[in-house]
Structure 1
Amino acid sequence: MSRIEEELALQKLMARYVDAANRRDGEAWATTWAEDGCWNLMGMEVTGRDNILQLWQQVVAGFEFAILMPSSHLFQVEGERASGHWYLQEFTRDLQGEKFAAMSRYLDEYVKVDGQWLFQSRRYDFLYRGPADLSGDFTALP
């Protein structure tokens, strides 16, 4: 595959991830992860697709809804491995009715398995989480 085709395939991976998350389809969401993947969600780190899915289900259970909207991204592809990052906007309402807007970043490592890109590791960090009017605190990027 050409570099452009590889990058499009990585974009499609994120599209599958976001689509499944927004629909709350844990089974489809889990298929975007490598079997031995690692997810660092704001300091909580889990390894293995089944453990990653379990953590995601626990997190999602606390929300009436959560909508992810990915934006800019960059990739570095080297053969069957790649790295990159995504920026996201998120809008959520928890089970107590609290509404939040968030801006966040995923730092990613990807692996190609049987010709398909998967997430090998993801580190998720908030840049901002608070009222939609952006009156909360913002965390600067390292």
Structure 2
Amino acid sequence: MSTADTVADKMELTELVARIARAVDRTDRDAIVACYAEKSFDDHGRFRGSGVEFAEYICNSDFTNASPFLYHLLGQSIWDVEGDEAFGETYFDFYMQSEESSLVRSFGRYLDYCQRIDGRWLLTYRRVVMDYRGTHPSTNAPASAGHFEGTRDRNDPVYKRLRWPEHP
């Protein structure tokens, strides 16, 4: 395998991790499922199950639906690619609102095992390693005038492909 192929694989794997995070933040069930191999396992601690079951959990559980937002900020990813298998570690910083006045923040690492299946990298096994979790007091403020607001569904601005500013 050439260096260019290895770099391309690592970029695709890093994007796969980002796509899962975005799909979770937007509670986009189909996009979550599309990132996992048919035979997969996700160990999030609080949740353990297949990629399909993880999508159902994110999109339908009282735990995640109680928060007006889920927010992932991803850090560095390091991948070891061995043919059609890849082992990765990606740092994350995660936020969600647990109550009107509490912000839950956690950071840690995703330890991922991915396989190339039918020419696409898919997540086969994920283990979440939590390095910190805490609850912090917070207050909600309205969005600044003129800003677009994110939503936890397909109405989020990311799904609308803007090419030029819209005019009234």
TM value normalised by structure 2: 0.71
How many angstroms apart in 1 are the aligned matches of 2:131 and 2:22? Answer: 22
CA drift of 1:85 comes to: 0.9
**Is contact 2:29–2:56 with CA below 8 Å preserved after alignment?**
no
Aligned counterpart in structure 2 of residue 104 of structure 1, from 97, 108, 111? 108
Aligned counterpart in structure 2 of residue 74 of structure 1, from 78, 81, 84? 78
**Is contact 1:75–1:84 with CA below 8 Å preserved after alignment?**
yes
**Is contact 1:73–1:87 with CA below 8 Å preserved after alignment?**
yes
TM value normalised by structure 1: 0.82
**Is contact 1:110–1:121 with CA below 8 Å preserved after alignment?**
yes
Larger Rg over CA atoms: 2
The total of aligned residue pairs comes to 132
1:1-142 equivalence runs, <5 A: 2-42=5-45, 44-47=47-50, 49-57=51-59, 58=61, 59-131=63-135
Q: Which runs of 5+ in 2 are unaligned?
A: 138-168
Partner amino acid, structure 1, of 2:55: L
Give deviations 1:34-89, integer Å, cap 9, x for gaps: 11110011164213x32222233324223221100110111110111111111101
SS at match of 1:2: helix
SS at match of 1:50: helix
How many angstroms apart in 2 are the aligned matches of 1:113 and 1:90? Answer: 29
SS at match of 2:91: strand
Partner amino acid, structure 2, of 1:52: F
Identity %: 23
CA drift of 1:120 comes to: 0.4
Select the structure that is richer in strand: 1
**Is contact 1:108–1:123 with CA below 8 Å preserved after alignment?**
yes
CA drift of 1:98 comes to: 2.2
Q: Which runs of 5+ in 1 are unaligned?
A: 134-142
Task: Please give the root-mean-square deviation of Cα atoms over the aligned residues, in Å.
Answer: 2.0
SS at match of 1:27: helix
